[in-house]
Amino acid sequence: MVSVAAANLSRLKRLAPRLIQLATLVLFMALPLTAVCSSFLTGRTTRPARSDFQHAVDGTGVRAFWPVMEALQRDREPSDDAWGALFATPGYAKLQPAYVKRTLRLAYMPAKSEELRTALHQGDYYSRVLTHLVRVPEERERILHFLSSFNAAKTLGAARQEAAAYLPKGATDARRLPLVAFVIVEPDGHVDDDVVVFDVLYAIDRGADFVDILAHEFHHYYEPSRLQAPPADSADYYIVHTVKQVQMEGTADLIDKKAYPLHADPQRQWYVDQYNAAYADAPNTLRHLDELLSAAASAQERAVAGKQFWGALKFAGHPTGFYMANTILKYLGKPALIAAEPDPFEFFSVYNDAAKRCTTECYVLSDSSMAALAKLESEYIR
């Protein structure tokens, strides 16, 4: 354990200049108005000032949303200018225009009310998206109030601090703040490059938990990575993607999920139930992955099996990764977990060391799977 941690610490030291290089390479930040973030231009990467926090929040997406919604409510197609203004905002620019347009038309056009009624009763994620969007007109005042009274320094400052709890020392000082761009699209948030795209009504709905969820996204943003992912047409793509997702979501879930089992939540009990079930099933999921990795297969077979495994993985690897992260925390401690962050293959290796110390409930991956992961590590870790 000690040697693994020491090896990773030396890797982190090697990574430090790369992080600084990254922070200075990114030359543009979409800002709410036309203001320019001074700390960014000077390349300063220490603690942000109050004005930096204000400049790190963007409400233009929500502002551009209202004319689109109002046109649709009148059964009219929004003008090209209205759509253009929406997708020019930093948050919507990260979304798929075709998906957003189709979903907003369905949610708000009276001519589509029959189709909407059917979709709302499907009981799938898309029906939850539509249920969420249908609430927006009646929640408009609350949304406007949330944005006008948003305390950027307090909220983003707290999220940044929470994210740091599971990051190598100094990681949050190595990059400027990401831009938090509010949108209205689905009850979720995610980070894409240096923009955290977050649904404003979902932020309101989550109440006090919003900071934790934002901190989860900040963790992704600040987490150092040495992974050079293979291209999408590579036979290794889905396996490497799975390994990365499991590591990054499992670690970040320590911030907002905190502990297993997730507590009851009447607003989204379906999610709590399914997440807890997938967590309990994590040893089985790892056994399936073990079988996939240890099978002597051709590149083509590996590609197909990897894609199938990724497709069947619950919640994009969150609960499995959370199980692994908790196992590492319990048997090897936080420094071992943090030291593995830049290298998701190392996360699996450290998990396996922890699982060997654990009694019957932990799944230990086979030597042949670990060898397969080590081979991928040598190819895809810089």
Binding site for Zn ion (CB under 5 A): 249, 252
Name the E strands within the chain: 57-58, 179-183, 189-192, 195-199
Q: Which helix (H) or strand (E) holds 331?
A: helix 318-331
CA angle 87, 88, 92 (to 5 degrees): 40
- Minimal CA–CA distance to 164: which of 118, 224, 208? 224
- Minimal CA–CA distance to 141: which of 195, 229, 200, 214? 200
* Cα–Cα distance for residue pair 2/10, rounded to 1 Å: 12
* Cα–Cα distance for residue pair 8/338, rounded to 1 Å: 9
- Inter-residue contact 380 to 230 (CB < 8 Å): yes
Report phi then psi at 110, rounded to 5: -55, -35
Burial of 205 (0-12, 13-18, 19+ CB in 10 A): middle
Q: Which is nearer to Zn ion, 252 or 254 (CB)?
A: 252
Distance set, CA 211 to CA 61, 162, 168, 255, 309 (Å): 20, 9, 20, 10, 32
**Least distance (Å) from Zn ion to the CB of residue 219?**
8
Written as one letter, the residue type at 31 is L
**Least distance (Å) from Zn ion to the CB of residue 321?**
9
**Least distance (Å) from Zn ion to the CB of residue 102?**
25
The DSSP secondary-structure symbol of 360 reads: T
**Least distance (Å) from Zn ion to the CB of residue 65?**
24
**Least distance (Å) from Zn ion to the CB of residue 213?**
9
* Cα–Cα distance for residue pair 33/26, rounded to 1 Å: 19
**Least distance (Å) from Zn ion to the CB of residue 252?**
5
CA angle 236, 238, 242 (to 5 degrees): 115
Question: Reduced to 3 states, what is the DSSP secondary structure of residue 136?
Answer: coil
Which residues make Cβ contacts (< 8 Å) with residue 291, sequence separation at least 6? none
Q: Which is nearer to Zn ion, 182 or 218 (CB)?
A: 218
Question: Reduced to 3 states, what is the DSSP secondary structure of residue 375?
Answer: helix
